[in-house]
Amino acid sequence: MSVSGPTSHHARRAVLAPLGDVSRAAQVEERLGAAIRAGLLARGERLPSEPEMAGMLGVAVVTVREALTALRGQGLVRTTRGRGGGTFVALETPGGDAGAHGRLASMTRADLHDRGTELTLLLAGCAELAAERAAPEEARALADLVPHGEEPGLWRQADAELSLSVASLTRSARLTRQVLALEADFGPLARLPLADPEVLGLTRAHHERLVDALAAGDPDAARRCTRAHWREVLARLARLHADATERSAS
């Protein structure tokens, strides 16, 4: 498998933002684990050194070391020594594999609808607030997240990075944490429809419209285009769910 490019500046900044007053290894482990499971930190991506990460998170080096030990035990990261060594993401970026489709099939229609509603409202609200607070140059920089090629895995990662980067531009640590948690829990399933080339095209157009709205400081346009995009993607996910449920029942 090819290694995805490095995580965007805003997404990485959100993942490695200071933890606050309670500096515990469990919090570091939870945040990094969520980012890896959501595909925001891609397989093969090199993490900052332990001292660098400790400085970014506002914790002691020993706290980061303890968290990385736990993540290695879960198979989420691997560490190599010597020249060119470091800690790297080991988990395969979530995508349209059998496990994700199996999880989709196990969900009830009500649960799928509820999670989709939460995702749509949270991301649309973040887009609206980011349009009010982000500087135009920060918004335009998000255009760099659009990947080259049509590989669904790259687009899933880029779309998740866009969501977290927009959340970061709200300047709200609480909203950013909520987006990260939701991405880890539901994001990989929500983006299963990106295996369809037509949905990739819709996603590319959404990225362009959203960046334009954010750069123009237009909260209404940012909210509307985000809601419309996720309604379409989730409608297609509902059809995938219906097909999966039908297959499992036969």
Q: Looking at residue 17, what is its pLDDT?
A: 62
Tell me, what CATH number does 225's domain have?
A: 1.20.120.530
- Same-domain pairing of 73 and 154: no
- Same-domain pairing of 135 and 205: yes
- Weakest mean pLDDT among 65-79, 87-101, 157-171: 87-101
Task: Answer whether residue 3 is part of any domain.
Answer: no
Task: Answer whether residue 67 is part of any domain.
Answer: yes
Q: pLDDT (tens digit, 9 = 90+) per residue, 148-200? A: 888 988 899 899 999 999 999 999 989 998 999 899 889 989 999 999 999 99
What is the pLDDT averaged over residues 63-90?
Answer: 90
- Same-domain pairing of 217 and 180: yes
Give the domain range for residue 158: 98-249
The last residue of a domain, from among 89, 111, 126: 89
Percent of the chain's residues with pLDDT above 70: 87
Residue 39 pLDDT more than 80?
no
Task: Answer whether residue 80 is part of any domain.
Answer: yes
Residue 38 pLDDT more than 60?
yes
Under 8 Å between Cβ of 43 and 95 = no
Task: Answer whether residue 4 is part of any domain.
Answer: no
- Residue 237: alpha-carbon gap to chain centroid: 17
Residue at 171: amino acid letter? R
- Same-domain pairing of 166 and 75: no
135 Cβ contact list (under 8 Å, min separation 6): none
Task: Answer whether residue 1 is part of any domain.
Answer: no
Q: Looking at residue 110, what is its pLDDT?
A: 96
> Which is more confidently placed, 124 or 157?
124
DSSP-assigned beta bridge partners for residue 86 = 80
What is the pLDDT averaged over residues 212-222?
Answer: 98
- Same-domain pairing of 245 and 125: yes
- Same-domain pairing of 200 and 237: yes
Task: Answer whether residue 130 is part of any domain.
Answer: yes
Task: Answer whether residue 77 is part of any domain.
Answer: yes
- Same-domain pairing of 185 and 231: yes
Tell me, what CATH number does 34's domain have?
A: 1.10.10.10
85 Cβ contact list (under 8 Å, min separation 6): 79
Residue 96 pLDDT more than 90?
no
Residue 81 pLDDT more than 70?
yes
- Weakest mean pLDDT among 22-26, 166-170, 176-180, 207-211: 22-26
Task: Answer whether residue 2 is part of any domain.
Answer: no
- Same-domain pairing of 129 and 235: yes
Max alpha carbon distance in the chain (Å)?
Answer: 54
The last residue of a domain, from among 42, 70, 89: 89
Residue 94 pLDDT more than 50?
no
- Same-domain pairing of 79 and 13: yes
Across all residues in the chain, what is the average pLDDT?
Answer: 87
Residue 20 pLDDT more than 60?
no
- What are the backbone angles phi and psi of residue 120, rounded to the nearest 5°? -65, -45
Percent of the chain's residues with pLDDT above 90: 57
Q: How many domains does the chain have?
A: 2
What is the pLDDT averaged over residues 87-96?
Answer: 68
Residue 13 pLDDT more than 80?
no
The last residue of a domain, from among 65, 89, 113: 89
- Same-domain pairing of 243 and 172: yes
- Same-domain pairing of 72 and 137: no
- Same-domain pairing of 49 and 102: no
Under 8 Å between Cβ of 126 and 219 = no
Cα separation of 157 and 145, whole Å? 9
